[in-house]
């Protein structure tokens, strides 16, 4: 049950931060509220002050941030990402995965910023942000600092943000033309219990893979990338990349830290990671062939 509370509607990031500081330790930011309000209804979290961020213009919108970056505001809804022509053209992995997040009702309310701040272990967007080298802009009351996605997700429901920090935006570098991706999930219910993603950027001549991003999520406490698995796919021909799929799956599964729970044992989840990694590589290379057809 949610107890009586005060809702504050700031017009700027600084006003939001000041409202948080004035909340005497019982304030929380929210935009979509899909996670926070559920926890409050269940009595897991209680706040006397909720700071509604939806009126802060600078936290909205999807736009180019210079020639080689795209900026997604923290209050941008999942549905907006799913339907964005700009992201569909430059970062198609984002809208592709968003189409499978929860359901349309949730995607119409939930925001990217809220999802990343909550750091739910089974979140798709945490892994995608990691794979795409997202850089997260955080306002601390004085200035906005940048936290690479690889340093942002500390553990289950835990990030590198400090109390009062406000997530403002996520910047994504625009990958080289011809970049392809694969994303594989295993789920028994709405939230996946294991996911693997692969992003491959081509060499200048397009004959091979120059750079790779390989990671897994949902099986453990936080999403993880594997430099060792990525190295197997970098600076090789496409044929060599295909031939190394089994080794990539093995390495990714060995490095993972899956948790045994009702969806499967540690051994079972390692097997899933191995299989999904090979499928993701096959999907990625299949997408490349289709694009070149």
pLDDT score of 265: 96
pLDDT score of 106: 92
Structure confidence by residue, pLDDT tens digits, 237-286: 999 999 999 999 999 999 999 999 999 999 999 999 999 999 999 999 99
Q: Do 128 and 202 sit in the same domain of this protein? A: no
E runs forming strands in the chain: 6-8, 27-30, 49-52, 62-64, 69-73, 135-139, 144-148, 153-155, 158-159, 166-173, 180-187, 192-202, 208-217, 224-225, 236-237
Q: Do 149 and 192 sit in the same domain of this protein? A: no
Q: What is the mean pLDDT of the chain?
A: 96
Residue 42 lies in a domain: yes
Q: Do 73 and 145 sit in the same domain of this protein? A: yes
CA distance to 81, 209, 231, 242, 248, per residue, from 235 (Å): 31, 5, 8, 13, 15
Count of domains in the chain? Answer: 3
CATH number, domain with residue 14: 3.30.43
Residue 271 lies in a domain: yes
Q: Do 46 and 82 sit in the same domain of this protein? A: no
Residue 147 lies in a domain: yes
Mean pLDDT of 3-17: 94
CA atoms of 98 and 82, how far apart (whole Å): 5
Residue 118 lies in a domain: yes
Q: Which of 235, 224, 222 is nearest to 197 (CA)?
A: 224
Q: Do 143 and 214 sit in the same domain of this protein? A: no
Q: Do 230 and 276 sit in the same domain of this protein? A: yes
45 pLDDT tier (thresholds 50, 70, 90):
confident
Residue 91 lies in a domain: yes
- The residue among 173, 199, 225 that closes a domain is 173
Q: Do 77 and 144 sit in the same domain of this protein? A: yes
Which residues span the domain enclosing 252?
Answer: 180-288
Q: Does the pLDDT of residue 38 top 90, yes or no?
A: no
Q: Do 23 and 73 sit in the same domain of this protein? A: no
pLDDT score of 43: 84
- The residue among 173, 206, 237 that closes a domain is 173
Report the range of poorest mean pLDDT among 43-47, 57-61, 145-149: 43-47
Q: Which of 280, 272, 230, 234 is nearest to 253 (CA)?
A: 272
Q: What percent of the chain has pLDDT over 90?
A: 89
228 pLDDT tier (thresholds 50, 70, 90):
very high
Q: Do 261 and 276 sit in the same domain of this protein? A: yes
Structure confidence by residue, pLDDT tens digits, 49-100: 999 999 999 999 999 998 999 999 999 999 999 999 999 999 999 999 999 9
Structure confidence by residue, pLDDT tens digits, 215-226: 999 999 999 999
44 pLDDT tier (thresholds 50, 70, 90):
confident
pLDDT score of 2: 78
1 pLDDT tier (thresholds 50, 70, 90):
low
Element holding 289 (H helix, E strand): helix 266-292
Q: Does the pLDDT of residue 4 top 90, yes or no?
A: no
Q: Do 209 and 254 sit in the same domain of this protein? A: yes
Residue 1 lies in a domain: no
Residue 19 lies in a domain: yes
Residue 230 lies in a domain: yes
């Amino acid at each position: 049950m949610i107890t009586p509370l005060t809702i504050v509607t700031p017009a700027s990031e600084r006003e939001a931060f000041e409202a948080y500081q004035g909340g005497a330790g019982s304030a929380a930011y929210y935009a979509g509220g899909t996670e926070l309000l559920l926890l409050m209804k269940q009595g897991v979290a209680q706040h006397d002050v909720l700071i509604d961020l939806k009126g802060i213009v600078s936290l909205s919108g999807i736009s180019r941030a210079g020639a080689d970056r795209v900026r997604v505001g923290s209050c941008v809804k999942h549905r907006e990402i799913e339907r964005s022509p700009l992201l569909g053209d430059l970062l198609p992995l984002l809208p592709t995965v968003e189409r499978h997040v929860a359901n349309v009702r949730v995607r119409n309310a939930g925001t990217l910023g809220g999802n990343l701040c909550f750091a739910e272990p089974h979140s798709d967007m945490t892994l995608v942000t990691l794979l795409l080298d997202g850089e997260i802009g955080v306002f601390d009351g004085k200035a906005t600092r940048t936290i690479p996605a690889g340093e942002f997700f500390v553990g289950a429901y835990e990030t590198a943000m400090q109390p009062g920090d406000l997530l403002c935006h996520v910047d994504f570098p625009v990958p080289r033309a011809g970049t392809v991706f694969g994303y594989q999930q295993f789920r028994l219910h709405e939230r996946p219990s294991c996911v693997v993603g692969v992003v491959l950027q081509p060499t200048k001549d397009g004959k091979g893979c120059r750079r790779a991003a390989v990671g897994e999520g949902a099986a453990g406490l936080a999403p993880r990338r594997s430099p060792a698995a990525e190295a197997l796919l970098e600076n090789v021909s496409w044929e060599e990349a295909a031939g190394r799929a089994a080794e990539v799956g093995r390495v990714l599964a060995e490095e993972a830290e899956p948790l045994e729970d009702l969806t499967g044992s540690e051994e079972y989840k390692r097997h899933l990671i191995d299989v999904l990694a090979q499928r993701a590589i096959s999907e990625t290379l299949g997408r490349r062939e289709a694009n070149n057809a």
